[in-house]
Amino acid sequence: MSDSLLKPKANFGTAPVFMTAISTILGAILYLRFGYAVAHTGFLGAIAIIIIGHLVTIPTAMAVAEIATNRKVEGGGAYYIISRSFGLNIGAAIGIALFLSQAISVAFYVIAFSEAFMPFAEHIIESYPLLANYSSFLLDKQLVGIIMMILLSILMLTKGANIGMNLLYYVVAVLFASLIMFFMGSPIEGHLITDVDLIRKIENPDRFFYVFTIIFPAFTGIAAGLGLSGDLKDPKKSIPKGTLWATAVGIVVYVAVAIKLVLSASLEDLAADQLIMSKIAIWGPIIPIGLGCAAISSALGSVMVAPRTLQALGVDKIFPTLTLNTWLSRNKKGTIEPMNASLVSCVIAFFFVVVGDINLVAEVIAMFFMVTYGAICLISLLEHFSADPSYRPTFRSRWYISLVGAFLSFWLMFKMNATYAVVSLIFMALIYIYISKYNTSKGGIIKLFKGVLFQLSRRLQIFVRKKEHNSADDNWRPFAICVSDVTLKNRDAFDFMSWVSHKYGFGTHMHFMEGYLNKESHQESIKTLTKLHRLAEGSKSKVYIDTIISPSYTSAIAQVIQLASISGKGHNLITLEFERGNTEKLEQVIKNHHLLTATGLDVSILNTTYRSYGTRKEIHIWISADDYQDSNLEILLGYILLGHADWKGATIKIFSLYEEGTIENQKELLLSLIKKGRLPISPLNINLIERDPSKSVKTVINEQSANADFTMIGFDEEVLEKKGTSYFEGYDKLGNILFVNSMNKKEIK
């Protein structure tokens, strides 16, 4: 916020927040439309409207109190709270909607005042016959509304919030006096309460929500008090106290009025006369007077709040041109009155006064306010789950209360008017997209959702970690980690990790950088990591990527295998890689194999070639009935790869090689393993090959898999120790090969 809104001259306390809120809550709707609500829904229906309305407003009031006591609240009220939590882009979209609802509210209350003026106009014409010639003017509601709007605009543009606040005290006094006289009144002669008065069957549920829509603006007073945040000495104290007290008083008064109405008049009388309260009160004229005062007070509250929201939008440079933002944020000379923003607010209000349809205006107001309330409750809900250390409000709501408020707000929008709801959301989405084009600030929404996801991930990891002792009974899935120093030159190992972690498991790819950790190497690792993330974004990979600086390949592996997995469980598979013909790198891999066996990790060693993974259409897997542990792991990895779009339409061919004269026995053993479920394959997918004594195993594999895009071969650690690098050499006709060594039995269930 700019210094223009830092309130060096702000002098309002809690009372103005309460007065502004309560004057809107106990406003025109109470006098003009609450009898209508009782008439069309019955007493219990009216109580239901009050309850549902406050199931939205009470969570919102509590969320407002919570957020306001956590951070410094400046000018802009609800917009300030939303934008500082959700970020300027989405805050601006909601803020503009909020401003429009506040500006249109001015028109709503001016139209209500013109309704209240009609009984006086009729009385004046009857008392002064000479004025009968001017009856068409005096009884013209639209003309009365326009004149009232002109006077209100002059008042606000010349005197500002101070004069408005002084008037509010008198207006609220008359307001409560009228309510007291109403409660002191007697029932209409001959009225006897019936069951129908208590509960009226509503044939069409949509009618109930239509009535709710007309009544809902009565519950929007909490936002009126918020708008004065820039004029308060201590917003953290005044906003929660004033808002919550106004909400509580509003509930009591509305329930009491509903009881008084149903005890004093029939539903037919309530439906026929929108000023039925004047026939119940001990002095009838006090009701139109109270209505007029309520309309004036609510209009004053809205016309004070709307410009301050618009000014805050200008201060945050939300609008596309600097000139417009500067103009809107400008104060009246020597004051903190938003002169230009007030002018815009009054012009918008004038337009809707000319429209003159109070029910239409009420629907528009209800829709925009509902969006705002839903957003505020959603902010509070997300703040509870993000567990941000900087979020320490002195007033605490509850996450489930905010959840109820957020859900009901958005659900009720569509129940009230689905068309208006869709139009409102599209309108806000278009504003958001438009603003995002020139306002690149990501604001607080990313931070907020990151906090929520962090807490969700943290809790899941702790849960999984606690249950890890049962992992022996789990079906195997990969929690893989890869160490590579050629990721930026050859991405085959990275691609393999992407496929492994795409759907069925978790993958961590560590890029090894040889050297000692110091300032220079750390900066270099950050640059490298940025490049790696760009690589991952281009391929839509789900691999967790990081770098590791270590003086040797051995120390890097030793460090990596001790790292915790991002899954919450330990790693169970490690992937190392070497290029075909790179004997030095192969020797490094073999030299460190003992580290991997010591930790019980399954090992996969990727041998890459210029052919890479070919066309990704055919995977060959070589298995043995004598070593079903490696065979199972190969088969599982093969089927995991097929789950990725890169291998869509690919086929797996499984080969099993046996010594001469043993094929029948080996075939029976293999079928037995398949039958027991130790090998998750169909016998039809296995190619049984009897070994030709004149050909080596490698020669047979070279012949059968020369055209394969990817080949998997099991290896034995004891044989590896004896044969060394030659164990992995001699497969020159093959493409990429994955040598697999499983350390644990994998019973496939």
Judged by average pLDDT, the poorest of 280-289, 381-390, 597-606 is: 381-390
Would you place residue 91 in the very low, low, confident or very high pLDDT band (cuts 50, 70, 90)?
Answer: confident
pLDDT tens sequence across 136-183? 776 777 788 888 888 878 877 776 555 656 677 777 788 888 889 999
Whether residue 339 is predicted with pLDDT greater than 70 in this model: the reply is yes
Sorted by sequence, the CB contacts under 8 Å of residue 561 that are 6+ apart come out as 481, 571, 574, 595, 596, 599, 601
For the record, the structure tokens of 493 come out as 């190992």
d(CA 17, CA 12): 8
d(CA 657, CA 385): 56
Whether residue 11 is predicted with pLDDT greater than 70 in this model: the reply is no
- Domains annotated for the chain, with CATH where assigned, are 15-384+395-448 (1.20.1740.10), 476-600 (3.40.50), 609-749 (3.40.50.620)
Neighbouring C-alpha atoms within 13 Å toward the C-beta of 441: 16
pLDDT of residue 3: 41
pLDDT of residue 299: 79
pLDDT tens sequence across 642-685? 888 888 888 888 888 877 766 677 677 777 766 665 555 666 77
Whether residue 5 is predicted with pLDDT greater than 50 in this model: the reply is no
Would you place residue 455 in the very low, low, confident or very high pLDDT band (cuts 50, 70, 90)?
Answer: low
CB 649 within 8 A of CB 617: yes
CB 627 within 8 A of CB 714: yes
Minimal CA–CA distance to 535: which of 487, 568, 493? 487
d(CA 20, CA 224): 6
Minimal CA–CA distance to 499: which of 619, 338, 629, 583? 619
Whether residue 584 is predicted with pLDDT greater than 80 in this model: the reply is yes
Burial of residue 654 (CB within 10 Å: 0-12, 13-18, 19+) is: buried
Give the bridge partners for 509, in sequence order.
482, 545
pLDDT of residue 335: 67
Judged by average pLDDT, the poorest of 332-341, 630-639, 694-703 is: 332-341
For the record, the structure tokens of 430 come out as 């278009």
More confident residue, 440 or 519: 519
pLDDT of residue 149: 86
User: What average pLDDT does the chain have?
Assistant: 78
Name the amino acid, one letter, at 537: E
How confident is the model over 193-208, as a mean pLDDT?
62
d(CA 669, CA 676): 11
How confident is the model over 412-430, as a mean pLDDT?
83
Handedness of CA 230, 232, 236, 240 (dihedral sign): negative
pLDDT of residue 435: 74
* Count of beta carbons in the 10 Å neighbourhood of residue 523: 10
Cα three-residue angle 129-135-138, rounded to 5 degrees:
120
Whether residue 414 is predicted with pLDDT greater than 80 in this model: the reply is yes
pLDDT of residue 738: 95
More confident residue, 539 or 180: 180
pLDDT tens sequence across 688-741? 888 788 888 899 999 999 999 999 998 888 888 888 889 899 999 999 999 998
Judged by average pLDDT, the poorest of 65-69, 223-227, 534-538 is: 223-227
pLDDT tens sequence across 214-263? 888 777 766 666 655 555 677 667 777 787 888 888 889 889 998 888 88
pLDDT tens sequence across 45-63? 888 888 998 888 888 878 8
Whether residue 410 is predicted with pLDDT greater than 80 in this model: the reply is yes
Minimal CA–CA distance to 106: which of 321, 342, 396, 289? 342
For the record, the structure tokens of 225 come out as 């008090």
DSSP state of 282: S
Buried/exposed code over 562-575 (b: 16+ C-beta within 10 A; e: otherwise)? eeebbbbbbbbbbb
d(CA 362, CA 101): 10
Burial of residue 173 (CB within 10 Å: 0-12, 13-18, 19+) is: exposed
Judged by average pLDDT, the poorest of 419-433, 460-474, 481-495, 515-529 is: 460-474
pLDDT of residue 31: 81
Sorted by sequence, the CB contacts under 8 Å of residue 345 that are 6+ apart come out as 99, 102, 103, 106, 303, 306, 307, 310
Tell me what percent of the residues of the chain surpass a pLDDT of 70: 76
pLDDT of residue 398: 84
Whether residue 390 is predicted with pLDDT greater than 70 in this model: the reply is no
Neighbouring C-alpha atoms within 13 Å toward the C-beta of 709: 17
